[in-house]
């Protein structure tokens, strides 16, 4: 960089689903803000928000699919009172 300071201390391998990548993004944003570039820090804050919300949306989608699959898996299984009745009835002679 021709004698100038490097723009940041952190090299980021970008994988938004990796918590380490998100933490590196936060560190870069803090470092940029400390250097006085508020606009770039704000932009990076927006990227961070976008990534976090995307991860939350992905998690909600996974949970929704899991709930649907579990509903199908347990549909028609006996209820607790039905199971209790089955286990407490007299054995066949």
Q: How many domains does the chain have?
A: 1
In this prediction, residue 45 carries a pLDDT of 93
In a domain, 69, yes or no: yes
3-class state of residue 74 by DSSP: helix
In a domain, 71, yes or no: yes
In a domain, 93, yes or no: no
3-class state of residue 84 by DSSP: helix
User: Quick one: average pLDDT of 38-55?
Assistant: 88
In a domain, 67, yes or no: yes
> Within its chain, how far is the Cα of 30 from the centroid?
22
- What pTM was computed for the model? 0.52
In a domain, 26, yes or no: yes
In this prediction, residue 1 carries a pLDDT of 43
Does residue 16 or residue 82 have the better pLDDT?
82
As a whole-number percent, the residues of the chain with pLDDT over 90 amount to 24
In a domain, 37, yes or no: yes
Parent domain of 27: 19-88
């Amino acid at each position: 960089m021709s004698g100038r300071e490097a723009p940041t201390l952190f090299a980021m391998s970008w994988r938004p689903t990796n918590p380490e990548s998100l933490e590196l993004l936060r560190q870069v944003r803090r470092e940029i803000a400390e250097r006085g570039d508020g606009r770039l820090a704000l932009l990076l804050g927006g990227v961070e928000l976008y990534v976090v919300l995307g991860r939350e949306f992905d998690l909600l989608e996974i949970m929704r699919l899991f709930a649907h699959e579990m509903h199908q898996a347990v549909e028609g299984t006996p209820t607790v009172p039905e199971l209790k009745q089955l286990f407490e009835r007299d054995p066949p002679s």
